[in-house]
A and B are shown apart, each in its own frame.
Chain A
Amino acid sequence: GAVVSQHPSWVICKSGTSVKIECRSLDFQATTMFWYRQFPKQSLMLMATSNEGSKATYEQGVEKDKFLINHASLTLSTLTVTSAHPEDSSFYICSARDSLLSTDTQYFGPGTRLTVL
C-alpha cells in the first residue's frame, strides 16, 4: 500500500518551454502533497506544499509563477515548470501524506529528472 507514482521519470526540453510533472497517490487519498527539488550532492529541499482544493504554499525563494502547482483532486498534484531554463535542470520529487492516517509519514514518488537544454 501507500504507493505514489510520478510521471514522467525523466524529461529533456528546450529552454523556454514548459514542463508538467504529475504526482499521483495510487491507493490512498492525499489532502496534502509536497514538492521537493534536489541538486547534485545536496539534500531534498522542499519547494512547496500542495493542498487539495486550495493554493499551494511556497517556500521562501521559490517563485510561484515559475513553478505552478495544481492539486485538483485528492489523488493528483501537478507541478509545471514554466519557461524552463538550464538552471531549472534538477531532480524533482513529490510526496504525499495519507489523509486518513494520523501518521506524519510522507510517501514518495520515484522522482523526475529534468534536463533543460
Chain B
Amino acid sequence: ILNVEQSPQSLHVQEGDSTNFTCSFPSSNFYALHWYRWETAKSPEALFVMTLNGDEKKKGRISATLNTKEGYSYLYIKGSQPEDSATYLCAFKAGTASKLTFGTGTRLQVTL
C-alpha cells in the first residue's frame, strides 16, 4: 500500500496571506504527481501534473514544486483570496499503468 500524506490537514488564513502545504509520497518508482483543487459541492479540478524532479509549475497565483528524490511536493498560494478556499488533493502515480493514490487533502479556508 502506497502512503501519500498531506500536511497540514487544515489551514485557516487571512485574505492576502501567502500559504503553502506539503504532499509526501514514496521516492521509489515515481511516475507522476497530480494536484487537484476541490471546492465543496463541485468536482475536483486538475491543477498540475508533475513528472520531472525539480519541476515547477504555475497557474495564476498557485504554483507547485516537485522533489522526487526525497518524495515531496509543495503547493504555494500567493496572496490568498476567499475563492481559494477549497480542499487541495495530491495524488501519486507509480509506473505508467498504475492507479492514482490520493492523500487525504489539505483543507484551506481564506477569510476576509
A interface list, Cβ under 8 A from B: 4, 34, 36, 41-46, 49, 59, 93, 95, 103-111
A104-B93 contact in complex given A43-B104, A110-B42, C-beta closer than 8 Å: yes
Please determine whether B49 and A103 come into contact, CB atoms closer than 8 angstroms: yes
The total of Cβ contacts below 8 Å across the A-B interface reads: 46
Return 29 A-B CB contacts under 8 Å, by A number: A34-B100, A36-B102, A41-B104, A42-B104, A43-B89, A43-B101, A43-B102, A43-B103, A43-B104, A44-B89, A44-B102, A45-B102, A46-B99, A46-B100, A46-B101, A49-B99, A59-B99, A93-B44, A104-B32, A104-B49, A105-B34, A105-B46, A105-B49, A106-B34, A108-B36, A108-B43, A109-B43, A110-B42, A111-B43
Which parts of B11-54 form the interface with A (CB within 8 Å)?
32, 34, 36, 41-46, 49
Chain B residue numbers with a CB within 8 Å of A42 are 104
